[in-house]
Amino acid sequence: MTLVMGILNVTPDSFSDGGAYLDTEAAIGHARGMLAAGASIIDVGGESTRPGSARVGVAEELERVIPIVHALAGDGIAVSVDTMRAEVASAALDAGARIINDVSGGQADPDMLGVVARSGADFVLMHWRDHSERFQDTASYDDVVFDVSHELIAQRDKAIDAGIARERIILDPGLGFSKTWDHNWTLLRHLAQFQKLGHRVLVGASRKAFLGELLGGREPLGRDGATAAVSFWAAQVGVWAVRTHDVAGQSDAIAVARRLALESPF
């Protein structure tokens, strides 16, 4: 069954919900609301990766993330931490996180793969070419499905060589990161190819700009219906999880996909 990973951004500048959950109690309350709506995992992030965003200091990222991870994990909640920094990953794992979700796939910090390997945690390895202030300059491919798959597997091999068990690795094609709008649609159309790479697959389409473009320039908060359609598609393909701001809507879409899959053909 496709799981729902609820996004908990504790940042002032994330593209959709920046500033909404900077207060620790508000963040914890939102996480509990997402769990009640159907989330299986809460993904906590203290650094925005929206296009053009500047990086925050490590001390600030730690201050934003670790108290929330500690509180949620202390209640037995499955917590993922969205970070590119090994120091933050290490502290989050010590606080009880079970998954490190690194949008750079271990490329931004040379110590990341070793930290994850020593912990035995799951590792989301996303397709990535550069930091957010520059990544749209690298959105060039001969064949986007082949190239993204090839680059993911090359980084996957480095993760395995670093000691991360194969079964702990989750692949993410990186929608919106060094991709044009058309690239994103092509990757979604060929999700089944990523399922064949031998790992769980995570899809993160929530409220992204390519959905806004499809909908005539609609703002992020108006993109949840389109996100649910992507989640329905991802669930039909059988991906491991979708990462989303709108847990209830995606849970409903996945429930419909699951129910339809139970029907026998006429």
C-alpha to C-alpha distance for 110 and 34, rounded to whole angstroms? 33
Query: Cβ distance 10 to 246 under 8 Å?
Result: no
Q: CA neighbours within 13 Å on the CB side: how many for 212?
A: 14
Catalytic positions: 208, 243
- CA separation, residue 59 to residues 46, 66, 88 (Å): 11, 11, 9
Per-residue pLDDT in tens (0 to 9) along the chain, 266 residues: 999 999 998 876 554 544 555 678 888 999 999 999 999 999 999 987 766 666 788 999 999 999 999 999 999 999 999 999 999 999 999 999 999 999 999 999 999 999 999 999 999 999 999 887 676 778 999 999 999 999 999 999 999 999 999 999 999 999 999 999 999 999 999 999 999 999 999 999 999 999 999 999 999 999 999 999 999 999 999 999 999 999 999 999 999 999 998 864 43
* Predicted TM-score (pTM) of this structure: 0.92
Handedness of CA 143, 162, 8, 56 (dihedral sign): negative
Cα dist. 160→48, 58, 68, 147, 168 in Å? 28, 26, 30, 20, 10
pLDDT of residue 264: 47
- Which pLDDT does position 57 carry in this prediction? 87
Q: Are 88 and 115 in contact (CB under 8 A)?
A: no
Burial of 162 (0-12, 13-18, 19+ CB in 10 A): middle
C-alpha 167 chain-centroid distance: 18
Which pLDDT score, from 0 to 100, does residue 55 have?
73
